[in-house]
Amino acid sequence: MFESVLIANRGEIAVRIARTCREMGLRTVAVYSTADRDSAVVRLADEAVQIGPGPSRRSYLSAPAIIEAARRTGADAIHPGYGFLSEDPDFAEICAADGITFIGPPPAVMAALGDKARTRGIMAGLGLPVLPGTTDAVESAAHARAVAAEIGFPLIIKAVAGGGGRGVRVVRDPGAFLGEFAAARAEAQLLFGDNRVYIERYLESARHVEVQVLTDRYGNGIHLGERDCSVQRRHQKLIEESPAPGLPHHMVDRMTAAAVTGALGVGYVGAGTFEFLVGGGDDFHLMEVNCRLQVEHPVSELVTGVDLVRQQILVAAGERLALNQADVTPRGTAIECRLNVEDPARGFVPTPGELTRFDLPAGPFVRVDTHGYAGYRVPADYDSLLAKVVVWAPDRTQAVARMARALDECAVEGPGVATTRDFLRSTLDHPLFRAAKHDTSLVDTMLTGLQPDTTEAPERH
């Protein structure tokens, strides 16, 4: 087992990782930028090292700075959290070359699955269903036109190196396609330093459902059930829940089995997520695989009782999974709401600033993961996620009521600061969400005032 873990991240996920490390008796090292010198994890960790100025490329994305911090502090493992360097195979190889364990999947697996187009081909070869589209990057306008003619509209253009909902463009109008294709390549270059894109058919009315997998280096693998992540704005998740309400048991069984098959088929090691689109009927299709811990992992933890960060660390240390599939028995319903420092009334524009009031919910079966506190200044350099409010209840109806109560208890204020709290609260009250008939169009539906059918879907127990 490791003695010291460096947490190569910031914000709520850095605090969350540090807490599990402390419970395991592991020494923790936090890294921070000048913009994060007052971050909660700096105070929580056993040691903290400043690694650069505010911009991510000169701090949290600087592999040399992070490796040097690990050397100076004697850290023998690095947990990357999510985002930043968490899915960078080159960084994982640098760690290995320096004798430091990267808490994540092998670099070769990350490299293969980090190419979203290549992932489609690999997983299709393993028997997982994928939408019509390309399994290689589309390099030219002529190639793009041929693909569009074959699969039809609407379609979606995605960055090969993308993730987190970024680098995505939906095209419904054939006349706008080539312009959107050129814009997508330029955007991919700007966001990811890689202009390659791929194309697949777009499902207008679909649910976003993902499966949490956990594997070790000895060929053992399990899943921790599924999560519904359909409440999104601009492909960025806002509310997640487990289990996915209303899905037939046989579909869930097929989807979770497919995810484990895919993970074991590529030699995956650690915690990972297989993301699917669920259309009408019994169809589901793989979107992508995320080689890291997900923001929404707490909902899986609450329904299964499994600490995913602990399992990541144990697997990275070379231990076999102590769990088999029969040990995982999801109970009840867990819901997570992302409290972002954003103003929904202005298109979810970030609103960083000093927090003069920061009151969080409490009470039975309420969990809050955050790095915020009264007096904390939310920096403008990073993602706007401030807190994750997570609740558990024996069934979905009680979980929705508990989340509504928890959000009502939240009070975050400061000059110029706005949050998504009221928008999240309105979402919980929306008849489509209450009836569990929502899909990825729900936020647009709310913003346009559409009122589709709201006949209630059955709750799955």
Q: Same domain, yes or no, for 267 and 324?
A: yes
292 is catalytic: yes
pLDDT of residue 455: 43
Q: Give domain status of residue 126, yes or no.
A: no
The parent domain of residue 43 ranges over 4-88+96-101
Asked whether residue 424 falls in the same domain as residue 287, the answer is yes
From 185, 201, 217, give the residue that closes a domain: 201
Residue 121 in domain: no
- Residue 118: inside a domain, yes or no? no
Instruction: Output the six-digit token pair for 7.
Output: 């947490």
CATH classification of the domain holding 297: 3.30.470.20
CB 252 within 8 A of CB 223: no
Specify whether 179 is located in the same domain as 303: no
Any domain includes 123: no
Domain CATH number, residue 72: 3.40.50.20
Domains in the chain, number: 3
Rounded to whole angstroms, the Cα distance separating 324 from 332 reads: 20
- Cα gap 214→318, rounded to integer Å: 14
Say if 303 falls within a structural domain: yes
Exposed/middle/buried for 282, CB within 10 Å: 0-12, 13-18, 19+?
Answer: exposed
Mark whether 218 and 348 lie in a shared domain: yes
424 in the same domain as 332: yes
> Is the domain of 263 the same as that of 188?
no
Asked whether residue 189 falls in the same domain as residue 225, the answer is no
Inside any domain, residue 24: yes
- Tell me: do 282 and 314 sit in the same domain: yes
Residue 21 sits in the same domain as residue 45: yes
Q: Which of the following is catalytic: 196, 292, 396, 402?
A: 292
- Say if residue 313 is in the same domain as residue 429: yes
Q: Which pLDDT tens digits describe the chain residue by residue (461 residues)?
A: 999 999 999 999 999 999 999 999 999 999 999 999 999 999 999 999 999 999 999 999 999 999 999 999 999 999 999 999 999 999 999 999 999 999 999 999 999 999 999 999 999 999 999 999 999 999 999 999 999 999 999 999 999 988 767 889 999 999 999 999 999 999 999 988 899 999 999 998 899 999 999 999 999 999 999 999 999 998 899 999 999 999 999 999 999 999 999 999 999 999 999 999 998 778 999 999 999 999 999 999 999 999 999 999 999 999 999 999 999 999 999 999 999 999 999 999 999 999 999 999 999 999 999 999 999 999 999 999 999 999 999 999 999 999 999 999 999 999 999 999 999 999 999 999 999 999 999 998 898 853 444 444 444 43
pLDDT on residue 460: 42
Tell me what pLDDT residue 164 has: 67
At 405, phi and psi to the nearest 5? -65, -40
Task: Please check whether residue 124 lies inside any domain of the structure.
Answer: no
Cα Rg for the chain, rounded, in angstroms?
Answer: 21
CATH no. for residue 191?
A: 3.30.1490.20
